[in-house]
Amino acid sequence: MTQNNSNPLVAFTMGAKGGPGKTTFICSLVDHFLHEKFPASFIDADIENKSRGSLSYVFKDTPKLNIRTPRGLDNLVDRVLSGGTQTILADLGAGSGQDTFAWFDDMHESLHEMGVRFLAIGVLTNDSATTSTILHWAAALKDRANYLLVRNHVAGDDFGYMFESDQGKKFLKVAAPAVIDMEKRVPDIQQELNDRGLSLRQALAASNDVLGPILSKDSAKIRMRGYVTRIEREFARVIDILLPAQTVNA
């Protein structure tokens, strides 16, 4: 697949306190982009997560970016406007909302005129705080971004606060977000992936001495292959918003 040079995309996770699984999700998305050879740059802007479990810990060449500087987020658009890449995937950290909202107020109008698109990615669990974070970000960003909701089933299947509350229903109607699912993973497998700094595809390609006693088991590898197959099936459903506009097959 090749891409033309119009409508670059900046996709970012909506910063939230640790726990909803946004970095787990973004690691699978980066895995998918690398496997499919989609041209993209990856940014770890979660400066509070300095070690294990961060995007730059798993993908070692990913730069760490502090957006809490006067021009911190400018680095994202500099990359897509310089012609180096058409897509940016950025993992934002907790407490990044205020800086992001102010930056949108300053920059979005001009960037929109230049064809730059934005995708805000929100990860939901059964904790109502994850919905509150997404609604807070959406109230600030409004229609200046498209939205992708990821229902993370790690703690169950109840996402009622988003899909049944008045506030959630209003957001769903107005923003019309794409919605996909991320299944619950066996805890010791995900924990070992985090500890060893491995994505699912990295683990499946690694030797047993790198994987250790849990991930090296045949049953664990079968599970990980299943996780990859099913999450990438979800990506395929929303590929039109995950890639720059006017992407064409070659």
Please give the helix or strand (H or E) that residue 146 lies within, else none. Answer: strand 146-152
Residuewise pLDDT in 10s, the chain (250 residues)? 334 456 899 999 997 666 678 989 999 999 999 999 998 999 999 877 656 668 999 999 999 888 888 788 998 888 888 877 889 999 998 888 999 999 999 999 999 999 999 999 999 999 999 999 999 999 999 999 999 999 999 989 999 999 999 999 999 999 999 999 999 999 999 999 999 999 999 999 999 999 989 999 999 999 999 999 999 999 999 999 999 865 444 4
Query: Structural domains in the chain?
Result: 7-184 (3.40.50.300)
With CA atoms as reference, report the closest residue to 33 among 231, 248, 250, 246: 231
Q: What is the pTM of this model?
A: 0.92
87: which 2 tokens? 């897509």
Model confidence pLDDT, tens digit, residues 104-146: 999 999 999 999 999 999 999 999 999 999 999 999 999 999 9
Contact 171, 135 (CB under 8 A): yes
* Phi, psi (degrees; rounded to nearest 5) at 42: -120, 135
d(CA 125, CA 127): 5
Give the tokens for residue 34. Answer: 């690398």
Burial of 216 (0-12, 13-18, 19+ CB in 10 A): middle
CB proximity list for 104: less than 8 A, separation 6 or greater: 140, 141, 144
Helix (H) or strand (E) holding 242: helix 239-242
